[in-house]
Structure 1
Amino acid sequence: MPFFQLHHIHANSDDTIPPVIDVEKGPKPEPLLRRSSIYEKPDDPNIVWWDGPNDPENPRNWSTLKKNINVGLISLLCFITPVASAMFAPGIPKVMQDFHNSNDELASFVVSIFVLGFAIGPIILAPLSEIYGRQIIYFIMNVLFVIFTLACAVSSNLGMLIGFRFLAGAAGSTPLANGGGTISDLIEQERRGAAMAVFAIGPLLGPVIGPVAGGFLAQAEGWRWVFWVIVIAGGLTTILFFILLRETYAPVILQRKTLRLQKQTGNLLLRSKLDNGLSATAQLKHAIVRPARLLLFSPIVLSLSVFQGLCFGCLYLLFTTFSTVYTEQYHWNTGKDGLSFLGLGTGLAISLIVFGYLSDRILKYKAGKGELKPEYRLLPMIPATIFISAGLFWYGWSAQAKAHWIIPILGTVLVGFGYLPVIMCIQTYLVDAYETYSASALAASTILRSLMGATIPLAGRSMYAKMGLGWGNSLLAFITLAMLPLPWMFYRYGEGLRKRYKVDL
């Protein structure tokens, strides 16, 4: 049984655990086991494994401080790269003016091309992290992200800017592709909800906070300085990663331990317990197609990814109206325009506190009844969609009626409050359900989410021009209302679908 599946446990005071839970096959009908038995060395002396339940090399046994540092670094990076996705959006009019282009669709594409990079990067980065480890992928991609962002800052034409924006997005997708896997490496399932909430807030708050800062910066110093600020922030973060980040992926740690013991003992027959016997090339070929296999052959992964992608696309489509509404209708300048995103940020922050608190407690409550299923992570999603729909109706019609500027912003608070649990619950569910291959599961979800987030907003300007703000946002609200039963269906039937359509990973 893979290492991470052995950690689906709930400790009792007498140091016993209930039957081991395999997330693919369900509970095994075994008697209660001593916790230490999980870590007993195999009978074969040539098999390398953890040195007992307290092995300090096991990331699950690291100190709380060391775990928090690694999770904090990933969460920081997962905030910076989404900030970069939208920070210069308020400066787009100046970009188009500098490059003598008035194409509205191309103006939207300059922003969304970064998100398209988010869709492409995980296809390669997630599988690579499951072969060579998380650490090296973070190191290399962080450096490339800084280089590509710097190239955006010095772009001499629109084509160059678009090209390097795409490459920066692909490199910046690393924490989205591998962050959930890192958290899975470090933290047991029953304590994972709070960490995933902190991790999830970056991709959500980033596109909100980015335009606020970017609006004032673009107005004061020009759009190029937006990229220089990102370069500085990314460079400092990269230095912190080189100093503080440690490898967390168990198969890679055990493989390094095996090589070290081979060198020390001269016994070349030693091999890791998690070694699948495949060459790096064969592993890469198999790993590259893993996210696609999950999307194509796992109905639950596909359904959740589509659900998440629709919500993500609606959110980015909503973003396309802010500049128009608040600059033309409320006569805000470029700098002040970014403040219109704060309603979403407020809703996301409140939601983070509420649903981050509830996630682990719901799981522990259910586990106390003798069950521990990934599907319990989906429960907070059930009421969330109604807030998204209500907020879209509120924002659209209050903006259409030209009510006081605070009224539409209050509507976006509801959108943000409902949106975070959708993303957080789906990501945490995928990590719990596919622990060893959680990076590939999240990559599959990120690919579809980012594609929809990049393409749906392209229709925003023409849709609002024809339907107006009221009916345009009502259309989005009706779409989210139609999705209202889906979270309950995922919760009720997700386990059956996951077990019936088991994907060979």
Structure 2
Amino acid sequence: MPPNNANERQPLLNGHHRPQNEDQDSEPQILSFSPKDPSNPLNWPLSSKYLQTALITLIALSCPMASSITAPAASNIQASFPGSTQKQIILGQAVFVMMLGLGPLFLAPMSETFGRRPVFLICLGVFTILQIPTGLAPNVGTFVAMRALAGFFFGSVGVANGGGTISDVFERRERARVLGVYLVGPLLGPTIGPLLGGLIVGGTGSWRWLFLLTGGLAGLATVVGYFCLFETRAVTLLLERKRALERENPGKRYVVEGTTDQGLLEKIKGNSTRAVKILTTQPIVSTMSLYQALVFSSMYSLYSQYTSIWSAPPYEFSKKQIGLTYLGPAVGFIICAVFIVLFIDKVYSALAERNGDEGQPEYRLPMANVGAVFLPISLFWFGWAVEKNAPWPVPVLATMLFGASQVSIFNCVQTYYIDAYETNAASALAAGAFLRSVVGGIVPLFVSGMFEQLGYGWGMSVFGFLSVLLMPAPAVFYWTGRRVRERFPFKG
């Protein structure tokens, strides 16, 4: 059970003082949390907060892991579907990734309307069930369709609502470190997936076992979440209190600030467009989401080519060995994530103290500049190392730097979104997820032709030159972000 108290159903803040007369019941009583109310998720014990963080991290790891788990098994899947092509198999990954971006446009606003818990549990449950027909797919059309359905709405719930949950339970100065831990999930998942996929396919010879793993992890998250995942959105908790008070006190009226009397369809229609509005009207989100889209398209393009790269001379790796090469970016992820978790709050506090204020969202961006420098270096390094047939440790070391750059950029930008758009954090994160996932899903469909024409050296250099072009973005918004936000205020 979530933290509770004996006065949970009592109104905590009245509107204004009213004379005792016959009209008293006609005036609504405003409900909100008092500063120290233990029912407020911001006041929960740290054990409860960390439990929620652990659960949403598990969700954010297990669902995106399914996006790339089939990468080392592409040839096996193609062989089991006579008449299928390599591009159709890659399409199974592409549609899943693209759906991970479309789902949050609806799921994030829905969680802001109906609460986090029901959205999490329903999506996780359906995602678990969908792994069964995916693993048993009799043809490539069914396989691609099930992958698309699993990614949309259901598999994207961790990406859509995880950041919003952390924003619910942690104050601004606390949340960056916790967010750094959580964000390892959606980044590490697409790397751990192929690692496990290579080991499983290499050991069993069948790609269908992969979906037993993804379904098992999602099912575990669903069961544990049913018992331990609490509602964290303050407005949803206050609405529950409002309904209880109205049952106990017929005739009295209660109001929760920030809510309206709109009907269900009107809420869905209005809220589902919020993330799109943020993406299209906020220059910061548009630019930084484009940057994240470059990172994701580079990652999925690279992973889609891993089997071709490592199975060819001079490497000629087995399926298991190909799976182990994914340890390169995974190690980079983890090392950089630890560094960010340890220092992002210290950097924020030092900048706030130096500038004599309580802190600005832009103070989350300085550490992103590390990734901005690492990204082009790693892309050029890997591409030309493979092109020149360098010994395998050389390109693997480049992928470690690539993994570190992803975490640095992704974590800092996500934290920046949450601080800058605090009341609409889930929708701001969904806006970024939309662009990066759609681009990250589409680009790998075309890169095989580019690599055939240009080779891996110049092919990866295309991504490297684009990363150089966007490299100044974190530094530019560190200096100008506040003025940009003031010039383009979001009115959702």
Question: Of the candidates 9, 16, 25, which is equivalent to residue 43 of structure 1?
Answer: 16
Give the corresponding residue for 1:33: none
Give the corresponding residue for 1:29: none
Deviation of residue 44 (structure 1)?
A: 5.8
CA distance in 2, matches of 1:116, 1:101: 25
CA distance in 1, matches of 2:184, 2:17: 45
CA distance in 2, matches of 1:287, 1:51: 24
Alpha-carbon displacement from aligned partner over 1:186-219 (angstroms, at most 9, x marks no partner): 0000111111111111111111111111112123
Amino acid at match of 1:179: G
Is the CA contact 1:366–1:372 (under 8 Å) kept in the aligned structure 2? yes
Is the CA contact 1:47–1:273 (under 8 Å) kept in the aligned structure 2? no
Q: Is 1:390 aligned to 2:377, yes or no? A: yes
Give the corresponding residue for 1:263: 247
Question: Of the candidates 318, 321, 346, which is equivalent to residue 333 of structure 1?
Answer: 318
Alpha-carbon displacement from aligned partner over 1:138-185 (angstroms, at most 9, x marks no partner): 010001101111110111111101011011111110010111000000
Give the corresponding residue for 2:50: 68
1:340-419 equivalent positions in 2, closer than 5 A: 340-368=325-353, 369-419=356-406
1:42-121 equivalent positions in 2, closer than 5 A: 42-43=15-16, 46-121=28-103
Question: Of the candidates 155, 160, 166, which is equivalent to residue 137 of structure 2?
Answer: 155
Task: Name the SS for the 1:67 alignment partner.
Answer: helix
CA distance in 2, matches of 1:390, 1:321: 19
Is the CA contact 2:298–2:463 (under 8 Å) kept in the aligned structure 1? yes
Give the corresponding residue for 1:199: 182
Q: What RMSD, in angstroms, separates the aligned Cα atoms of the two structures?
A: 1.5
**Structure 1 spans left out of the alignment, 5+ residues:** 1-38
Alpha-carbon displacement from aligned partner over 1:29-59 (angstroms, at most 9, x marks no partner): xxxxxxxxxx865426733434522111100
Q: Is 1:226 aligned to 2:210, yes or no? A: yes
Question: Of the candidates 205, 216, 219, which is equivalent to residue 235 of structure 1?
Answer: 219
Deviation of residue 417 (structure 1)?
A: 1.1
Deviation of residue 88 (structure 1)?
A: 1.9
Q: What is the number of residues matched between the two proteins? A: 467
Task: Name the SS for the 2:326 alignment partner.
Answer: helix
Deviation of residue 102 (structure 1)?
A: 4.9
Task: Name the SS for the 1:248 alignment partner.
Answer: coil
Deviation of residue 353 (structure 1)?
A: 1.0
Question: Of the candidates 213, 236, 260, which is equivalent to residue 276 of structure 1?
Answer: 260
Deviation of residue 273 (structure 1)?
A: 2.6
Question: Of the candidates 172, 176, 194, which is equivalent to residue 159 of structure 2?
Answer: 176
Deviation of residue 243 (structure 1)?
A: 0.4
Q: Is 1:467 aligned to 2:450, yes or no? A: no
**Closer, same or farther: CA 426–359 of 1 in aligned 2, 3 Å:** same
Q: Is 1:501 aligned to 2:488, yes or no? A: yes
Q: Which runs of 4+ in 1 moved over 6 A?
A: none
Deviation of residue 278 (structure 1)?
A: 2.7
CA distance in 1, matches of 2:345, 2:434: 27
Amino acid at match of 2:105: I
Amino acid at match of 1:295: L
Task: Name the SS for the 1:146 alignment partner.
Answer: helix
Amino acid at match of 2:175: R
**Closer, same or farther: CA 213–44 of 1 in aligned 2, 3 Å:** farther
TM-score (structure 1 length as normaliser): 0.90
Q: Is 1:129 aligned to 2:81, yes or no? A: no
Q: Is 1:458 aligned to 2:432, yes or no? A: no
Alpha-carbon displacement from aligned partner over 1:469-500 (angstroms, at most 9, x marks no partner): 11111221111111111111121112111121
Deviates more, 1:275-284 or 1:397-406: 275-284
Amino acid at match of 1:59: P
Amino acid at match of 1:336: Q
**Percent of residue pairs identical:** 32
CA distance in 2, matches of 1:133, 1:249: 6
Amino acid at match of 1:43: H
Deviation of residue 270 (structure 1)?
A: 1.3
Give the corresponding residue for 2:8: none
Amino acid at match of 1:91: A
Deviates more, 1:153-162 or 1:485-494: 485-494
Is the CA contact 2:124–2:218 (under 8 Å) kept in the aligned structure 1? yes
CA distance in 2, matches of 1:155, 1:294: 38
1:437-452 equivalent positions in 2, closer than 5 A: 437-452=424-439
Task: Name the SS for the 1:100 alignment partner.
Answer: coil
Deviates more, 1:156-165 or 1:266-275: 266-275
CA distance in 1, matches of 2:157, 2:466: 30
Is the CA contact 1:48–1:258 (under 8 Å) kept in the aligned structure 2? no
Is the CA contact 1:87–1:207 (under 8 Å) kept in the aligned structure 2? yes
Amino acid at match of 1:261: L
TM-score (structure 2 length as normaliser): 0.92
